[in-house]
């Protein structure tokens, strides 16, 4: 069977489950493990596509719910599809809107048919069913579409999580039946909280449906780092070795290092750009708060040895000044740096796997980053 998005594991780390791979898509190839910046509304906030690519990104994410509300999938389709619309010629993945049923719970109602939202913009009704979520994503035209799933807030009773698992499986089957676009792949999403039996049940059911890739969902909704590790330890070994594995909504460097060790290939998160807009920069030795008065006359870059636009051009003192003066360049430079840092980390991870030294690399990186 020919798949529009294909994955090949190139190197397996001897001391862990980490793997170096290649993901081939209709809009180009990339090495994995890889991080996808989040462009919720068809833009990585404050950054041009060239800035995002220069920071190291090769694949980005956009959101079905938000684009269906504004400008509408018909507008995106009429303007040539999502790639042309947002000026990004590389691979794109679209989330299905399932996470918004969790994050906008006060504005949504979930039933067996789907999720009904009251728009956070103007209050109008948007109904997402498995079929309509797929139809919207097909009109958007991303390389990878995601099944609609139920993402329960944690902590929750096991019975509630079991109900979400059952609905996620049923919705995945409906998504599979509805998906017809031959140049777009469809990924299933494994739910189950921290319960081994529920994760196993969900993974086994989705694998039987033969999706093009698999995501681990429900791991950034209020659980502990240990619960995330448990969910990955159970789920990842059940997913096919020849398909990409995607951990949704995780971007903290420590969590990425943990997840790569279990065999995860793809990540996405708003963390690098959201932190950047809030004057927090990521470095190999932890975070740097750019509004700190200690940076007022600091001539150093955000991070020594970083070659991003911010670090090769400006001082900490200047970037702090931008934030204190509420100049928009401050959040832009901090976001550029954070993306560059994460993509540099992913490159170091890939190189460590290639050279058979991921385990000591991970240990050293975690020690430097701190808890």
**Active site members:** 95, 268
Q: Are strands 6-12 and 19-25 parallel, antiparallel or unpaired?
A: antiparallel
Distance CA 274, CA 334 (A): 10
Which residues, other chains included, contact 199 with Cβ-Cβ below 8 Å and sequence gap of 6+? 190, 191, 192, 193, 231, 234, 235, 238
Q: Residue 275 has which token pair?
A: 């932190």
Distance CA 126, CA 121 (A): 11
Residues 12 and 262 sit within 8 Å (Cβ to Cβ): no
C-alpha Rg value of the chain to the nearest Å = 20
Q: Residue 123 has which token pair?
A: 């209050």
What are the two backbone dihedrals, phi and then psi, of residue 109, each rounded to the nearest 5 degrees? -130, 125
How far is C-alpha 248 from the geometric centre of its chain's CA atoms?
5
Distance CA 286, CA 74 (A): 43
Contacts 24+ apart (CB under 8 A), 64-67: 64/94, 64/95, 64/96, 64/97, 64/128, 64/133, 64/136, 64/137, 64/140, 64/146, 65/95, 65/97, 65/100, 65/117, 65/126, 65/128, 66/40, 66/41, 66/100, 67/41, 67/42, 67/94, 67/136, 67/140
């Amino acid at each position: 069977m020919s798949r529009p998005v294909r994955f090949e594991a190139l190197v397996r780390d001897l001391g862990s489950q980490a793997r170096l791979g290649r993901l081939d898509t209709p809009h180009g190839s990339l090495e994995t493990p890889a991080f996808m910046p989040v462009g919720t509304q068809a833009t990585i906030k404050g950054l041009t596509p060239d800035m995002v690519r220069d920071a190291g990104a090769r694949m980005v994410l956009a959101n079905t719910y938000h684009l269906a509300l504004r400008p509408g999938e018909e507008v995106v389709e009429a303007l040539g599809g999502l790639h042309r619309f947002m000026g990004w010629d590389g691979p794109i993945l679209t989330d299905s809107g399932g996470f918004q049923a969790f994050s906008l719970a006060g504005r949504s109602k979930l039933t067996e048919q789907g999720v009904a939202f009251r728009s956070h913009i103007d209050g109008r009704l948007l109904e997402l069913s498995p079929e309509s979520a797929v139809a919207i994503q097909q009109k958007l035209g991303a390389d990878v579409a995601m099944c609609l799933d139920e993402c329960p807030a944690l902590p929750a009773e096991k019975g509630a999580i079991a109900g979400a698992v059952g609905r996620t499986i049923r919705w995945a089957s409906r998504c599979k039946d509805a998906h017809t676009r031959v140049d777009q792949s469809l990924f299933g999403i494994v739910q189950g909280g921290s319960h081994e039996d529920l994760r196993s049940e969900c993974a086994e059911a989705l694998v039987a449906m033969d999706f093009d890739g698999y995501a681990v969902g429900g791991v950034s909704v209020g659980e502990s780092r240990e619960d995330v590790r448990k969910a990955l330890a159970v789920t990842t070994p059940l997913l096919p070795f020849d398909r990409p594995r995607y951990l949704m909504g995780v971007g903290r460097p420590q969590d990425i290092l943990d997840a790569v060790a279990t065999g995860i290939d793809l990540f996405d998160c708003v963390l690098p750009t959201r932190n950047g807009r809030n004057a927090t920069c990521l470095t190999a030795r932890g975070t740097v708060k750019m509004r700190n008065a200690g940076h007022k006359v600091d001539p150093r870059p955000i991070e020594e040895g970083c070659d991003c636009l911010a670090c090769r051009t400006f001082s900490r003192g200047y970037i702090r000044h931008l934030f204190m003066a509420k100049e928009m360049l401050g959040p832009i430079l901090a976001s550029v740096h954070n993306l560059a840092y994460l993509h540099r980390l992913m490159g170091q991870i890939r190189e460590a796997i290639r050279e058979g030294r991921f385990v000591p690399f991970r240990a050293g990186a975690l020690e430097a980053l701190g808890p």
